[in-house]
Each structure stands twice: as C-alpha cells, then as structure tokens.
Amino acid sequence: MAVTDEAIEKIKSMIVSGALRAGDRLPKEADLAAELGLSRSSLREAVRALSLINILDVRRGDGTYVTSLEPAVMLEALSFIVDFHRDASVLEFLQVRRILEPAATAMAAERITDPDVAALGELLDGLGPHPEVDDLVANDLEFHRRIAASSGNSVLCSLLDTISAPTTRARVWRGLTQSGARERTLAEHRAIVDALASRDPEVARSWATVHIANVEQWLASVL
C-alpha cells in the first residue's frame, strides 16, 4: 500500500471508530503524524486528498476539521465528476434515475404529508396549461426534488439530486423537439401527485417508472 493511501486509511479508521467525529478538529499535524506513525508529508497528502472528497475541511489559519459527513456534502464530489459526463452518457444517468426514482416515489407515498401533497399540486398549477420549456424543466426539477425529499432517505435524495443535473439538457431538448412532450410531462406529474395523495406506493412507483422511461426511450431513439 502506498504511504499516502496508508495515511488515508488511518484517518478514515479514526472517523469510522468514532475517535474523530463530525465537526471535530484534527490534532496538530506534528502530533497526529506521530500518533499515526506517519511522516508529516504523507499526512499532508492524505489530508489534501480527503479534503477533495469533502471528508475533511481545511480552514486556513484555523485548522483541519471533519466535515458534517452529511450525504449532501459527501456527494458534492460525485457531482463534480458527473459534470464531465455529457452526450450519450446522459442515457446512462436516465437509466439510473429509472431505477432509483420510482423507489423514492414509492417511499414518498408512505411518508408524504397532506400539506406536501397540496404543495406539489400548487407547484404544477403555477405552470399553467402551456408552459415555456425552460419553466417546465425548472418546475420538473423542483417537483422531483420535493418527492425525493419526502422519501425520508437523505442519501437517496442527494443521489437523485446529483444525477438529475446531467439530464437537464435532454429534458429541454425533448420539450423543444418532441410533439406533445410538455403535455405528457404535465399529465404524468398529475398522475404521480394523485398516487401520492392516495398513499398508493405501487401506483406511485409505476407512474414514476413510466415518466422516466418515456424520456429515456425518446433520448435513445434520437442519439
């Protein structure tokens, strides 16, 4: 194992074991290096690597801290990687969404509150019957974000938020070029809200699957 990798593993073990907790400040570099049996240079490289993936937060002039370790923070690094994927790889992100989003929607059907269902309906009402494509896509992103949040699973919510971004261009493209796409999107959103209001997980799952699959099938046909 490379020296830097060993240093990373040792810091990770301290976090996993609870010796270091979310928000804790790491000991001084010299003290931590001695405690872990590492050189200061290898420790420094490990800290730099862990800060890039949001495990550690290096605050200049203050010290190095363990981050909150919340899913949204941890997945920011994945978001950075996702930003490099475009064109045909967008189809793969849609395939992942088709797996995860129906599960989140089914979970939401069991947990969502009446006020949140009403808010989803109001979100759709605000668009009107013939929205502009940009408005529809922004509304669509918020619609799915709220449903994922209602699933009660913060990891799933953060994952969906991250992998949803690369599909935005495909949604705009579909809205501009496919006849009836906007109307179908609105109708499918209404059906999802109805299933959530009925607290029917399987119907909610089915409509979410249909909704994502329609975009996926269209994109596969034009790529």
3-69 and 76-222: identical CATH topology? no
- Mean pLDDT, consecutive 10-residue stretches, the chain (223 aa), reads 77 89 91 90 87 84 87 57 54 87 97 97 91 87 94 91 76 74 91 97 96 86 71
- Provide the residue ranges of all domains of the chain, joining segments of one domain with +: 3-69, 76-222
The pLDDT, as a whole number, for residue 169 is 67
The pLDDT, as a whole number, for residue 121 is 96
The pLDDT, as a whole number, for residue 76 is 60
Q: What is the pTM of this model?
A: 0.64
Q: Which CATH number among 3.30.9.10, 1.10.10.10, 3.40.50.11540, 3.30.420.40 corresponds to the domain 3-69?
A: 1.10.10.10
Fold of 76-222: Four Helix Bundle (Hemerythrin (Met), subunit A) (1.20.120)
Written as one letter, the residue type at 6 is E
